[in-house]
Structure 1
Amino acid sequence: MANTRTRSTNVTVGNQDVALLKSVTTGRGPISDLAVDGDTVVTTNFGDDSVAVLGADTLALRGGIVAGQPTAVAVVGDRAFAAVSSASYDAVVVIDTTSGDVLKEYALSFNVTAIATSVDGKRVYAGRAGEEGVDVAVIDVHAERVGTIFVTKDADATIDALCLDATGRRLYVGVSDSRSSRLLTVDVETARVRRALEIGAPIRGLALGMDSTAYVLTSDIAHGGVLYVVDLVANHITADVSVAATPTQMVLSQDGARAYVVDYDHVAVVDVEHRTVVGEVSVGARPSAIALSDERLFVADYDGGVTTYTVAATAPMLYAPFVDALPAPRELEPAV
C-alpha cells in the first residue's frame, strides 16, 4: 500500500452546511467500504486487496494490512472488523488499528455482504448469503465463538444492510431477492425474526434514527433511488422521497435531520424532515462509500481517494446520558 498523498480535485459542495477539509489518495481503487470511530478511519481497498488505517484528522496512512479481498468493514475503538474473501475461504478479520496487526480470523462458510457491531465491539454481526438462503453470523469476540441467526431460505436472497439498535436487543436486516425486498426485525436474544415489512425495490442502505424510526434506501430502474421512512413500532412506511438516480450507500446525521446518499457521481444531501434534496457534494471521482463521525463526513471513491468534510449540525443534540435513559421501543409481536 502506497502512502497517502494529497490530491488536487474538482471538489465542489452545493450546500452551505458542508465544507471541504481534506482529500487524499490511499492507493489503487476502488474502495468498497469505509468506517470511522473517533480518530480512526478504516477503508477496504478492493482493488488493492488490502485494508488501510488512516488518521481521521489528517487522513495520514497509519498502516496497510493485506488480508484477502475485503468488502465490508466496521470499526469500534481500536478494533476494526473487516469481511474478506479469497479463493479458499471467507472470513471476518479482527485488526488492531493502532499496531496494524491481524489479531484473529473467524472463518465463515459463505460470502459476507454486510457487517455491524455492538457499541462496545463485543459482538459482530455478519450478513451472509449461501446456496439455500441467508443468515447472520454472530461473532462473540470475547468468547471467540460464532453463532447463527437464520433469516430466510430464499436461494437468491442477499442481505444488503444491517443495523443494531442502541439497546443491542434488536437487529434490523435489509433483505432483497429477485421478487422484492423487506426489512426484518430480529430479536437478538432469541435469534428469531419477529417482524417483516415489505419494501419493494432492492435495498441499498439502512440507518436508524433516535425515535424508533428507520430509513431504508432503495434503487431500481423503474423508480431510481427512493428513501423510505419507517415507523418501527407500528411497522409501516410513513413517507418516501426520491433522492438519487442510482444510489449505493447512505449515512444519517446524528440528529437525524440529514441523510447523505452516495449516487453515481455525487453525494446527495437530503433534508429528512422536509423530504427534499437540499444539496450535492462532488468529490472529483465516482463516490463509492460514506461514513460520518461527529460533524465530519468521509467519502471514499473508485479512484482510491478519501475526502473529508465538516458538516454543520442542524439541531441541538441530546446529551448522551439522557439518550441512554430513553425507554426502549415496546416489545414487538411475531411476524405473521
Structure 2
Amino acid sequence: MRFLPIIILSTGLLTGFEAVAQTSPPSSVPTAKKRKAKDIIKDAVQVSGGPKLSAGASASGGVSSNLGAKDGSLSSPNLNISNPEDAKKFATETLPDLGLKIAKGYKKVKKELKSLKKEFNGRDYEGLRVEKQILRQGSGSRLTYSEFYTLREYKQPDLYSRHLYWFDHRANRIVEGIGRDKERNDLMHGPYKKYLGDLLIEEGWYYMGTKHGRWELYDKNNNLLNKEYYEKGFARDADISYYDESQKKIKEVLPRNYDKVTGEYFLFNESGTLAEHGMMDDSVKVGQWVEYYPTGNRRKKEVQYGRDCFDTGFESYVIREYDERGKMIFESPKVKKN
C-alpha cells in the first residue's frame, strides 16, 4: 500500500494526456488511429528537449528507469525502486521534473496548432470568404475523396495568372481554364486534400484559382512522390523581372529548380498580355513554344524543340504561323496529317 500514491500519480498523468490527445477531427476527413497515452507523453518530452522515457520491471521486482536529469544527462544507469525511500525520491524529484518537461512540450505543440488555426479557420483565407466543397469520384477501392474550398463571391483573378483552377458544379469536377462560366464555376481558394480511401495522396493550397504554397503528392504507402512550391501560380523560386520599379508589371518569369533554369517560362508585354510561353530544361528550350501577337489572345508562331536538354541532335522547326486575324499562313511539312 505504500506505493499506491506513486501509482495514482503516474496514472493521473497518463489519463490527463490521453484526454488531451483525444480531440475529434472533422467528420468529413478520414481519421487516424488513436495513439496511446504513453506515446503522447514520449513525444511531448522529446518536443521539449528532454530525454526519452523508458521504464520496465527490474530483475529484483522493482521498477527500473533511465529517466534523465534536468541537464539531460542520466542520473543513474538503472534506478531500482524497491523500497519506500526510492519511491519517495522518485515521486519528489523525478516525476515533477518529468511533468514540467511534458507541460512545456504540450504548450509548444498547442502554440503551433494555434498558429495553424490563424492561417485558415474554415471561413476565410487571405481575407476572402470561402465555401467548403466535397468531391467523391469512383467506387470501391478506387474511390477518391477530395475536400477543398472555393470563393464564396467571385473576384477577378490576377492579370498574369495563366493557370486557373475552378470547381464546375454542374460537371462536379475541378477544371483548368483562364475563362469559365461564372454561373456554374467557382475559383478554387484555400486548402486542398485528396484521399484514396483513408490515405492522403495529394495536398496543397489555392489562391484565387492558382496553385499556392507547398504541394505534395504521395503513393499508397504514404511515400512522398513529389513536392513543389508555388507563389500565386508561378514557381516559388522563379526569377521574375518587371517593367516598372513598383514591380506590378511583370516582364519575364524565368523558372528555377535546384539552381537550374528548368520549368515553365513566360514573357509578357508591358500591357500584361502574354508574348511567349514554353518549357525549359537546364536552360534549353524544350517541347512546343508559342509566340503571341500583342493582343495576347492570338497565336503568331508555334515552334517545336527537342524533348529534353540531352536531345542535342534535334533541329527545331516552325510548326505553324498565323496572321493577326488568326488565319494559318504556314504549316510545316513535318506535321503529320490524320
Give your verdict on TM over 0.5.
no
The higher relative CO (CA closer than 8 Å, separation ≥ 6) is in 1
Give the helix-richer structure, 1 or 2.
2
Report the TM-score when normalising by structure 1.
0.29
TM normalised by structure 2 equals 0.29
Greater per-residue strand proportion: 1
